[in-house]
């Protein structure tokens, strides 16, 4: 067991924020995780942070504690029935590489989630979603390590409390578990989800005449690449804000003043509004102050153009929230975890 001291976290977060951790170690097995937790007095004396792909986190200061990097790897078929394959992926696997693996093996259901940054372990924590698909639609179960007892617990679909970018691991069980692996229930016969018009448009541009999960994945990759910056080039965490959900009555009032406001049915009572549109209407798209900015192609994405501090990006997000609230009386909520 090797614990390094005073380590820069810049290579370990997609925003590229240069902050330092008091202590840092990686684990690639449950035994190593157990040893780090039980054999280190650091764990009892200082805060603990479990880090995956670092793609949904904004560091605003140095972390005065122990950072454990989840490096659990492995993907395999664990079961199947007449209609489904059950694929288990370890939490440290890169999400997009896992999606491509499933496409290669004709396991259908997550092709719409191509090119989402981060690791497999974060996918149920955030209930990640894009283009009409969410993790809860393909989730079977996960195993998680309980930090206090050292036990390994299994969580089924109903145990996870999935909501819009929510699960029990974000609030109820926050900082209590380490997700070890996730098993997905993927289809043998694809059911193509092209309900988002941009996918249809891209498939037409690509001149796709016969639908396949690979074609849909390629279309999603093209769309995301055209709108979102590559974190290896421009630091970012993807969508910084959730799309707000408001009562239908409030949405109808907003339409009277803003006829072009885009809204999508969330349920019988509520409408989901595109946060990017709200932010753009407030004039933030393309805004830059120093190295902190709002991306030129997608207002939902805040970026680090080089050496921005996390506190500067956080301050920008606060200004955006305040201006959207003042103009539309709609409250934006950060999707990114703030440390």
Whether 90 and 61 share a structural domain: no
Q: Is residue 224 part of a domain?
A: no
Check which CATH number belongs to the domain holding 13 and give it.
3.30.43.10
Instruction: State which of 26, 41, 70 marks the end of a domain.
Output: 70
Q: Which residues are catalytic?
A: 165, 239, 335
Instruction: State which of 70, 100, 115 marks the end of a domain.
Output: 70
Whether 66 and 106 share a structural domain: no
Q: What Cα–Cα distance (Å) separates residue 119 from each residue in 55, 72, 93, 97?
A: 8, 10, 5, 9
Q: Is residue 108 part of a domain?
A: yes
Whether 177 and 270 share a structural domain: no
Q: Is residue 32 part of a domain?
A: yes
**Strands 48-51 and 63-70: what pairing?**
parallel
Whether 267 and 295 share a structural domain: yes
Contacts of 233 (CB under 8 A, 6+ apart): none
Q: Is residue 59 part of a domain?
A: yes
Three-state DSSP class for residue 136: helix
Where does the pLDDT of residue 40 fall: very low under 50, low under 70, confident under 90, or very high at 90 and above?
Answer: low
Whether 19 and 123 share a structural domain: no
Query: What's the CA gap between 227 and 52, in Å, rounded?
Result: 24
Whether 15 and 58 share a structural domain: yes
What is the pLDDT at residue 105? 96
- pTM for the model stands at 0.87
What is the pLDDT at residue 175? 85
Check which CATH number belongs to the domain holding 146 and give it.
3.30.465.10
Can you tell me the mean pLDDT for 17-21?
96
Where does the pLDDT of residue 174 fall: very low under 50, low under 70, confident under 90, or very high at 90 and above?
Answer: confident
Looking at the predicted structure, is the pLDDT value of residue 38 above 90?
no
Query: What's the CA gap between 246 and 155, in Å, rounded?
Result: 30
Where does the pLDDT of residue 166 fall: very low under 50, low under 70, confident under 90, or very high at 90 and above?
Answer: confident
Can you tell me the mean pLDDT for 146-158?
93
Count how many domains the chain has.
3
Instruction: State which of 13, 47, 70 marks the end of a domain.
Output: 70
Looking at the predicted structure, is the pLDDT value of residue 81 above 70?
yes
Whether 39 and 86 share a structural domain: no
Query: Which residue matches tokens 């989901």?
Result: 272
Domain that holds residue 163: 75-187
What is the pLDDT at residue 266? 78
For the chain, first and last CA: distance in Å?
A: 26
Whether 162 and 261 share a structural domain: no
What is the pLDDT at residue 164? 83
- The H-or-E segment that residue 96 falls in is helix 95-104
pLDDT in tens, 235-294: 999 899 999 999 999 999 999 999 999 988 878 899 999 999 999 999 999 999 999 999
Q: Compute φ and ψ for 11, nearest 5 degrees.
A: -75, -10
Whether 290 and 329 share a structural domain: yes
Q: Is residue 230 part of a domain?
A: no
Q: Is residue 107 part of a domain?
A: yes
Whether 176 and 280 share a structural domain: no
Q: Is residue 221 part of a domain?
A: no
pLDDT in tens, 109-132: 999 999 998 999 999 998 998 888
């Amino acid at each position: 067991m090797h614990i390094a001291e005073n380590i820069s976290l810049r290579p370990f977060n997609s925003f590229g924020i240069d902050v330092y951790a008091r202590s840092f170690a990686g684990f690639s097995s449950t035994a190593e995780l157990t040893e780090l937790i039980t054999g280190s007095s650091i764990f009892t004396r200082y805060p603990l942070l479990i880090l995956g792909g670092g793609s949904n986190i904004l560091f605003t200061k140095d972390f005065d504690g122990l950072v454990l990097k989840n490096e659990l790897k492995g993907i395999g078929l664990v079961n199947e029935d007449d209609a489904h394959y059950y694929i288990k992926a370890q939490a440290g696997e890169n999400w997009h590489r896992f999606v491509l693996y499933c496409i290669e093996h004709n396991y259908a259901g997550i092709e719409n989630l191509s090119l989402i940054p981060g690791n497999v372990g974060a996918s149920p924590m955030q209930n990640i979603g894009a283009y009409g698909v969410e993790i809860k639609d393909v989730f079977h179960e996960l195993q998680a390590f309980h930090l206090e007892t050292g036990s390994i617990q299994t969580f089924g679909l109903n145990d996870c409390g999935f909501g819009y970018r929510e699960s029990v691991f974000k609030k109820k069980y926050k900082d209590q578990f380490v997700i070890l692996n996730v098993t997905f229930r993927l289809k043998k016969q694809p059911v193509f989800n092209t309900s988002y018009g941009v996918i249809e448009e891209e498939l037409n541009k690509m001149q796709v005449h016969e639908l396949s999960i690979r074609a849909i994945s390629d279309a999603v990759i093209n769309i995301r690449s055209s709108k979102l910056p590559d974190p290896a080039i421009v630091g970012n965490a993807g969508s910084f804000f959730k799309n707000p959900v408001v009562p239908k009555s409030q949405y109808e009032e907003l339409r009277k003043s803003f006829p072009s406001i885009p809204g999508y049915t969330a349920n019988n009572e509520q409408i989901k509004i595109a946060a990017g549109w709200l932010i753009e209407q407030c004039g933030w798209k393309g805004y830059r102050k120093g190295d902190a900015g709002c991306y030129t192609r997608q207002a939902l994405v805040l970026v680090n153009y080089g050496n921005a501090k996390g506190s500067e990006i956080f301050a920008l997000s606060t200004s955006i929230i305040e201006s959207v609230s003042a103009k539309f009386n709609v409250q934006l909520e950060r999707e990114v975890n703030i440390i």
